[in-house]
Structure 1
């Protein structure tokens, strides 16, 4: 059989679009416009400052001058899943001219930002190979670990890539042995300390990424930024009054519904519903915004000009797969007793606990106000 050529993504998307009705296409494009909007928080200023510092360091780089060892060259974005780490990085890297593609004097396209995901399971060789694959560099099957990292550093210089983002970076440390951790931390250190080309590294992930950043080889070279659950800490500028979590999220919900989607916020979207949204999302900002956008989608689908409580009920049911009697947005009382990540379970079976113990399944932390994950 003749090998088929690789399909272009744009051709695949065009094919799907050609099969949909104009109404469905309009709805999909309208929802995409909502999803593309970004809601910034106080923490965004910290990210912007650190990326600006990276830009300044590279702009002042002199290959003929001695290296400055005291510069922070690794940025760590650490926080629970669903707090908006990846979305924040996508937004900040999109808006910085230094990280956009450009054409050199030979009309070759240059991409100064490399975005990759740490593989799982992760080993020193697997991480090096993932970097080469992300660069689009063909790799021999029998390449060794040391060769992979030497080649990765050489290709970063060859392609002119000074910024590297490694998402899901917790995979680096989750199952690594002590010798593997030492090798990976050395490899990352060597990437940001290349004597003939400046590279700045951004690592994003959940715990135990913070422990990776505290390893001796990386601690003095990295700056962590923590993404915390909504309301677990007061805002630095004390801008919001009263219950910080409810007030902040209520403002963001209005932004999504009114400014982004062009709909009205019904009176049913009150503080009680926002409190339920906080609980349903586990106080994770990214999850709360995703649920709000899903509610908007249901309003679009129904042709409504406003978002109502029922749309949040539908959004949460679709997201969690919960039974009707366990929907946080429909219960009259005791809704706070439902663990959001277990809402789909109608009841806990007696034989679940031994299986979870054997497979080391832990309950996910649901932050309450004043608690830290």
Structure 2
């Protein structure tokens, strides 16, 4: 296979075709970001918490004067001292000037797009968070001590393997203050909680509280993981009260097939490949099912199928390219491949090889003929859903 691919020439038609390295073209395809349906809610929640933390200024609001004595010379605005921060009010709550830390929890099943969504969120706000953000991925499996050891190098502190757990986390808190860190992101947090016993779970919850309580400047803790993480955090009332939960839900064929179909066409527009419009909707539905209704895996399979088309030297993206990618990922026979099976809705997208799932009772689904896809109108150019990074 050539390391370059020919691009169709622009006008005039007699100009030679341009060429571009295949790896560069594939990078452009894989960098395309499809925002999950809950991305806007995630961004809105994150921005509000940045305001609570004092990392961004809040908006000004107009407040009507409470009485004539509070008006200034123009008679239209409140007097400057009406909301003076230095009021000598014996009933004032001094703790109100020190807002407590908050926790943003992003949950979703494996492959839902959590990590990529947060990376894009942080990148879009680089000027705000770049100097105050530390992000780590919890390895699997992971103990509380191992997580602390993973964080210390990110905070500019050498690992000391002979230190005890509580001393490691004292170092973490000390380095957070010394480095001026205000946002800590821990990805795959369920790796820390899923194998912990009762005593370890208590220590995890207490460590979370120690990161956000009693600090001179409030801190935002961003935790991302699977749905079991939310169940764990809800077990402690103090932690639960400080949490804001956002869930990236699974795709559905009925609700998201047009979104995925449009995205396939958007991806194809980045390449010289062609895709038959008459098969797009059926292909999108099979893709959603084959990806186990996870947005991130849906995009992975689509990008891998485009690469497969290039490897084959084909000028068209065909369902067979998706079928080959799925076969290489799962090892399933053609009868269990959702891109080949007639009764593809009855195939198990979590099956690997030609073996029944061990976690469910074995079944022998009968293949059923799926209704032919409805004729789909061509996508309007203005309706693109994806955005290139």
Give the shorter-chain TM-score range.
Answer: 0.7 to 0.9
Aligned residue for 1:73?
Answer: 102
Match of 1:160 among 180, 204, 207: 180
1:245 aligns with 2:274: no
Q: Distance in 1 between matches of 2:167 and 2:360?
A: 38
- In the alignment, the residues of structure 2 paired with residue 33 and residue 183 of structure 1 have an alpha-carbon distance, to the nearest angstrom, of 44
Partner of 1:345: 353
Q: Which structure has the larger Rg over C-alpha atoms?
A: 2
- Conserved in 1, the CA contact under 8 Å of 2:187 and 2:224? yes
CA distance in 2, matches of 1:288, 1:180: 36
The answer to whether the 8 A contact 1:122-1:176 is kept is: no
Whether the 8 Å contact between 2:101 and 2:218 is mirrored in structure 1 is: no
Q: Aligned pair in 2 of structure 1 residues 115, 345: CA closer, same or farther (>3 Å)?
A: same
The secondary structure found in structure 1 opposite 2:136 is: strand
Distance 1:48 1:181, change over 3 A: same
Q: Match of 1:311?
A: 321
Map 1:1-373 → 2, pairs under 5 A: 23=4, 26-59=21-54, 66=95, 73-98=102-127, 101=130, 111-214=131-234, 215-231=236-252, 243-258=254-269, 260-261=270-271, 263-267=273-277, 269-331=279-341, 333-342=342-351, 344-348=352-356, 356=358, 361=359
Deviation per CA, 1:112-147, whole angstroms, max 9, x where unpaired? 221112233333322222221333421222212221
Distance in 2 of aligned mates of 1:100 and 1:262: 38
CA contact (8 A) 2:134 2:185 kept: yes
CA deviations 1:20-52 (Å, max 9, x no partner) are 985499212221121112111331111111221
**Could you tell me whether the CA contact under 8 Å between 1:268 and 1:308 is conserved in 2?**
no
String of CA shifts for 1:305-333, please: whole Å, max 9, x gaps: 442222212221222222334322122x2
- The Cα offsets for residues 170-193 of structure 1, whole Å up to 9 and x where unpaired, read as 122211122211211111112122
Could you tell me how far apart the structure 1 residues matched to 2:156 and 2:2 are? Answer: 36
Is the Cα contact below 8 Å between 1:82 and 1:285 reproduced in 2? yes
Alpha-carbon distance between aligned partners in 1 of 2:126 and 2:294, rounded to the nearest angstrom: 30
2-side partners of 1:312 and 1:210: how far apart? Answer: 34
The answer to whether the 8 A contact 1:250-1:271 is kept is yes
Aligned partners of 1:162 and 1:198 also within 8 Å: yes
Q: Give me the whole-angstrom Cα distance separating, in 2, the residues matched to 1:189 and 1:202.
A: 13
Question: Quick one: distance in 2 between partners of 1:178 and 1:197?
Answer: 31
Asked if the contact 2:283–2:319 (Cα under 8 Å) also holds between the matched residues in 1, the reply is yes
Q: Using a 3 Å threshold, how does the CA distance of structure 1 residues 60 and 112 change in structure 2: closer, same or farther? A: closer
| Displacement after TM superposition at 1:230 (Å) | 0.6
Name the counterpart of 1:239.
none
Q: Deviations over 1:73-117 (max 9, x none)?
A: 11111111111111111111111124564xxxxxxxxx4221112
> Quick one: higher RCO (CA 8 Å, sep 6+), 1 or 2?
2
Alignment gaps of 5+ in structure 1:
1-19, 102-110, 233-242, 364-373
Q: CA deviation at 1:205?
A: 0.8
Shift of 1:216: 2.0
Asked whether the 8 Å contact 1:72–1:220 carries over to 2, the reply is no
Does the C-alpha gap of structure 1 residues 261 and 319 become closer, same or farther in structure 2, counting only changes over 3 Å?
Answer: farther
Q: Secondary structure at the match of 2:200?
A: helix
TM (norm. structure 1) is 0.75
Distance 1:56 1:182, change over 3 A: same
Kindly indicate whether the alpha-carbon contact (under 8 Å) linking 1:78 and 1:227 is maintained by their aligned counterparts in 2: yes
Return the offset for 1:263. 3.8
- Helix, strand or coil: the match of 1:223? strand
Query: Unaligned regions of 5+ residues in structure 2, if any?
Result: 6-19, 58-85, 87-93, 362-389
1:369 corresponds in structure 2 to none
Distance 1:329 1:299, change over 3 A: same
